[in-house]
Amino acid sequence: MSSIALRVRTAAALIGIGLILSSCGYNTIPTLEEQAKARWADVQNQYQRRADLIPNLVATVQGYAAQEKSVLTAVVEARAKATQIKLSTDDLTDPAKVKAFADAQNQLTGVLGRLLAVTENYPDLKSNANFLALQSQLEGTENRIAVARRDYIEAVRAYNTALRTFPTVIWAKTAFSGEKPLAEFTATEGSEKPPVVKF
């Protein structure tokens, strides 16, 4: 066999090995992990947007409903607690830390609901342009939070599935053996029950 033929076969073999490796899923795990981290950044961005709106909302309501001090205080305290809990992308593999973050955000959601319910008692406040604009922004942000959480949950599902399915499980057990499944958001306890509406 000539040296040219040997070089051609070696080159063909290297190209073949390269094609096999590129199609075998080696890049899937890091790609899916980065997508999940990007989705998490979007979740945090939306929660921060909501936290940034709250001081303006509280100030607007405070001007009309000073006697609702306990609700206003609860909103301020829940905001402080929710913004105090920081969750880095490294913490996404710890379900307890993700749950603590989600619980703080859910508590803030609850007191915001109470604040908006209290405003029903103040017709002047309900017609205030600033309040209406803030309420609209807050509702839009809540929708964005729901979409961001859904996208994060889907990205985590794809990543966690890749860690356990063929052919990427081979890479998960070898080259990426230190990678752990990411934690998902879970529903708040009692959220499966419909809210009670009283008239």
Give residue-wise pLDDT tens across range 103-149.
999 999 999 988 888 888 888 887 788 888 988 999 999 999 999 99
Residue 56 lies in a domain: yes
Is 142 a member of any domain? yes
pLDDT at 199: 30
Instruction: Give the residue-averaged pLDDT of 137-164.
Output: 94
Please tell me the predicted confidence (pLDDT) of residue 124: 83
DSSP string, the chain: --HHHHHHHHHHHHHHHHHHHHHTTTTHHHHHHHHHHHHHHHHHHHHHHHHHHHHHHHHHHHHH-GGGHHHHHHHHHHHHHHHH----GGGGG-HHHHHHHHHHHHHHHHHHHHHHHHGGG-HHHHT-HHHHHHHHHHHHHHHHHHHHHHHHHHHHHHHHHHHHSTTHHHHHHTTTTT--PPPPP-PPTTTTSPPP---
In a domain, 77, yes or no: yes
Does some domain include residue 182?
A: no
What is the reported pLDDT for 25? 74
Least confident residue range of 35-44, 75-84, 165-174: 165-174
Q: How far apart are CA 9 and CA 76, in angstroms?
A: 71
Specify the amino acid at residue 102. A
Q: What is the CATH number of the domain that holds 101?
A: 1.20.1440.20
Q: Which residue has the higher pLDDT, 51 or 17?
A: 51
Burial class of residue 61, CB neighbours in 10 A (0-12, 13-18, 19+): buried
**Total structural domains in the chain?**
1
How confident is the model at residue 24, as a pLDDT? 65
Residue 187, domain member (yes or no):
no
Could you tell me if residue 9 is inside a domain? Answer: no
How many other C-beta atoms lie within 10 A of the C-beta of residue 57? 24
- Mean pLDDT of the residues in the chain: 85
Task: Tell me the average pLDDT across 13-33.
Answer: 76
Lowest mean pLDDT among 4-13, 36-45, 52-61, 151-160: 4-13
What residue numbers bound the domain in which 56 lies?
Answer: 28-173
Residue 10 — very low, low, confident or very high, per pLDDT cuts 50/70/90?
confident
pLDDT for residue 81: 93
Tell whether 60 is covered by a domain: yes
Report the predicted TM-score, pTM, of the whole model to 2 decimal places: 0.77
Position 119 in a domain:
yes
Q: Grade residue 39 by pLDDT with cuts at 50, 70 and 90.
A: very high
185-196 confidence digits (pLDDT tens) = 776 666 555 544
Q: What burial class does residue 136 get, using C-beta atoms within 10 Å of its C-beta: 0-12 exposed, 13-18 middle, 19+ buried? A: exposed
